[in-house]
Structure 1
Amino acid sequence: MSLSTCPNRVLLIGALCLGGCVRLGPNFQPQREPWVEHWNSPALDQAVETRSQPDIRQWWRVFADPTLEGLMAEADAHNASLQVAGLRVMEARAQLGIAQSGRYPQVQIASADVLYRDRKVTTPEAPQTSSFWQYSAGFDIGWEVDFWGRFSRAIESADAAWLAAKANYEDALVLLHAQLAQSYFALRTAEARLHIARDNARLQKRSYEITERLFKSGETDELDVQQAKTQYVSTLSSIPDLESQIMRSRNALAVLIGHTPGNRAELPDLTEKEGVVPLVDRAVLQDVPANLLLRRPDIRAAEQKIAAQSALIGVAQADLYPSLTLLGSIGWSAGSLAGIPNGLSVIGGPSLRWNVFDHGAIKNNVRVQDARLQQLIVVYRDDVRQAAREADDAASDLNKSLEREALLRDAKQAAKRSLTLANALYREGYSDFQRVLDAQRALATQEDAYLVNRSNAVSDVIALYKALGGGWYSDQPLIDPASRKQMQKRTDWGQLLDEPASSSANASSPLQR
Structure 2
Amino acid sequence: MSSQNQTQSVINFLRCGRFNACALAAGALLTLSACAPLGPDYKEPQVDWLAQWQPELYPSPTGSSVNADLSQWWTRFNDPVLNDLIVKARTESPGLKIAGLRILESRALAGVASGAQYPQVQQLTAQGAYAGKKRGGGEYRDFTTSQAAFNIGWEMDFWGRFRRGVESADAAYFASITNQRDAQVLLAAQVASLYYGIKATMQRIEIAQNNLTLQERSYDITEQLFSEGQDSELDLQQAKSQYLSTKATIPGLRLALQQQRNALSALLNRAPGDLPELDNIDSTLPQVDAHSVAGIPAQLILRRPDVRAAAWQAAAQSAQIGIAQADLYPSLSLFGTVGWSGNDIDIVDDVISVAAGPSLSWNIFNYGRIKNNVRIQDARLQQALEAYRASVLNAAREIDDAASRVAQTQASQQILDDALNASQRSLAIASRRYQEGYSDFQRVLDAQASTFRQADRAVSNRGDHIAAIINLYQALGGGWQEASIETLIPDAMRETMEQRTDWGDLLQDSLAQPPEPEQGHTQ
TM-score by length of 1: 0.92
Alignment match, 1:391: 399
Alignment match, 2:386: 378
Query: C-alpha offsets along residues 394-439 of structure 1, whole Å, 9 cap, x if unaligned?
Result: 1001101000011111111111111111111111111111111111
Question: Secondary structure of 2:57's partner?
Answer: helix
Q: What is the distance in 2 between the residues matched to 1:504 and 1:229?
A: 65
Alignment match, 2:49: 35
C-alpha contact (below 8 Å) 1:472/1:503 kept by paired residues? no
- How far has the Cα of 1:273 moved from its partner? 3.0
Match of 1:233 among 224, 228, 244: 244
- How far has the Cα of 1:504 moved from its partner? 12
Is 1:141 aligned to 2:152, yes or no?
A: yes
Over the aligned positions, Cα root-mean-square deviation in angstroms equals 2.6
The 5-angstrom pairing of residues 106-505 of structure 1 reads 106-120=120-134, 126-262=137-273, 264=274, 267-473=275-481, 477-500=487-510
Cα 1:14–1:383, aligned 2, differ >3 Å: closer, same or farther?
Answer: closer
C-alpha contact (below 8 Å) 1:67/1:272 kept by paired residues? no
Question: Secondary structure of 2:374's partner?
Answer: helix
- How far has the Cα of 1:225 moved from its partner? 1.6
Question: Secondary structure of 1:299's partner?
Answer: helix
Letter in 1 for 2:132: D
Question: Secondary structure of 2:355's partner?
Answer: strand
Letter in 2 for 1:72: I
Cα 1:495–1:402, aligned 2, differ >3 Å: closer, same or farther?
Answer: same
Question: Secondary structure of 1:44's partner?
Answer: coil
Alignment match, 2:12: none
Alignment match, 2:109: 95
Letter in 1 for 2:206: H
Question: Secondary structure of 1:43's partner?
Answer: coil
Which moved further from structure 2: 293-302 or 276-285?
276-285
Alignment match, 2:16: none
Structure 2, unpaired ranges of 5+: 1-19
- How far has the Cα of 1:11 moved from its partner? 5.3
Q: What is the distance in 1 between the residues matched to 2:320 and 2:141?
A: 59
Alignment match, 2:94: 80
Question: Secondary structure of 1:91's partner?
Answer: helix
Query: C-alpha offsets along residues 123-168 of structure 1, whole Å, 9 cap, x if unaligned?
Result: xx63352322223222111000000000000000000000001111
C-alpha contact (below 8 Å) 1:404/1:453 kept by paired residues? yes
Cα 1:74–1:241, aligned 2, differ >3 Å: closer, same or farther?
Answer: same
Q: What is the distance in 1 between the residues matched to 2:349 and 2:489?
A: 59
Cα 1:421–1:504, aligned 2, differ >3 Å: closer, same or farther?
Answer: farther
Which moved further from structure 2: 64-73 or 471-480?
471-480
C-alpha contact (below 8 Å) 1:391/1:468 kept by paired residues? yes
Cα 1:108–1:498, aligned 2, differ >3 Å: closer, same or farther?
Answer: same
Query: C-alpha offsets along residues 44-76 of structure 1, whole Å, 9 cap, x if unaligned?
Result: 3499xx99x984111111211111111111111
C-alpha contact (below 8 Å) 2:167/2:319 kept by paired residues? yes
Cα 1:478–1:41, aligned 2, differ >3 Å: closer, same or farther?
Answer: same
Query: C-alpha offsets along residues 441-477 of structure 1, whole Å, 9 cap, x if unaligned?
Result: 1110110000011011011111111111111127771
Which moved further from structure 2: 284-293 or 393-402?
284-293
Percent identical residues: 45
Cα 1:18–1:342, aligned 2, differ >3 Å: closer, same or farther?
Answer: farther
Question: Secondary structure of 1:327's partner?
Answer: strand
Cα 1:179–1:203, aligned 2, differ >3 Å: closer, same or farther?
Answer: same
Q: What is the distance in 2 between the residues matched to 1:425 and 1:365?
A: 85
Cα 1:403–1:510, aligned 2, differ >3 Å: closer, same or farther?
Answer: closer
Alignment match, 1:3: none
Q: What is the distance in 2 between the residues matched to 1:17 and 1:139?
A: 28
C-alpha contact (below 8 Å) 2:132/2:142 kept by paired residues? yes
Which moved further from structure 2: 187-196 or 111-120?
111-120
Q: What is the distance in 2 between the residues matched to 1:449 and 1:160?
A: 49
Cα 1:481–1:309, aligned 2, differ >3 Å: closer, same or farther?
Answer: same
- How far has the Cα of 1:279 moved from its partner? 2.2
TM-score by length of 2: 0.90
Q: What is the distance in 2 between the residues matched to 1:177 and 1:293?
A: 18
Cα 1:234–1:470, aligned 2, differ >3 Å: closer, same or farther?
Answer: same
Q: What is the distance in 1 between the residues matched to 2:68 and 2:134?
A: 91
Query: C-alpha offsets along residues 223-252 of structure 1, whole Å, 9 cap, x if unaligned?
Result: 112111111111111111111111111111
Q: What is the distance in 1 between the residues matched to 2:223 and 2:243?
A: 13
Question: Secondary structure of 1:497's partner?
Answer: coil
Q: What is the distance in 1 between the residues matched to 2:122 and 2:179?
A: 36
Structure 1, unpaired ranges of 5+: 1-5
Query: C-alpha offsets along residues 178-203 of structure 1, whole Å, 9 cap, x if unaligned?
Result: 12222212211110100000000011
Cα 1:503–1:430, aligned 2, differ >3 Å: closer, same or farther?
Answer: farther
Which moved further from structure 2: 16-25 or 108-117?
16-25
Cα 1:353–1:506, aligned 2, differ >3 Å: closer, same or farther?
Answer: closer
- How far has the Cα of 1:495 moved from its partner? 1.6
Alignment match, 1:62: 76
Letter in 1 for 2:215: Q
Alignment match, 2:8: none
Q: What is the distance in 2 between the residues matched to 1:230 and 1:173?
A: 48
Question: Secondary structure of 1:375's partner?
Answer: helix
- How far has the Cα of 1:478 moved from its partner? 1.1
Residues paired across the two proteins, number: 498
Q: What is the distance in 1 between the residues matched to 2:165 and 2:515?
A: 27
C-alpha contact (below 8 Å) 2:21/2:334 kept by paired residues? no
Q: What is the distance in 1 between the residues matched to 2:373 and 2:68?
A: 50
Letter in 2 for 1:491: T
Q: What is the distance in 1 between the residues matched to 2:497 and 2:434?
A: 75
Question: Secondary structure of 2:352's partner?
Answer: strand
Q: What is the distance in 2 between the residues matched to 1:46 and 1:306?
A: 31
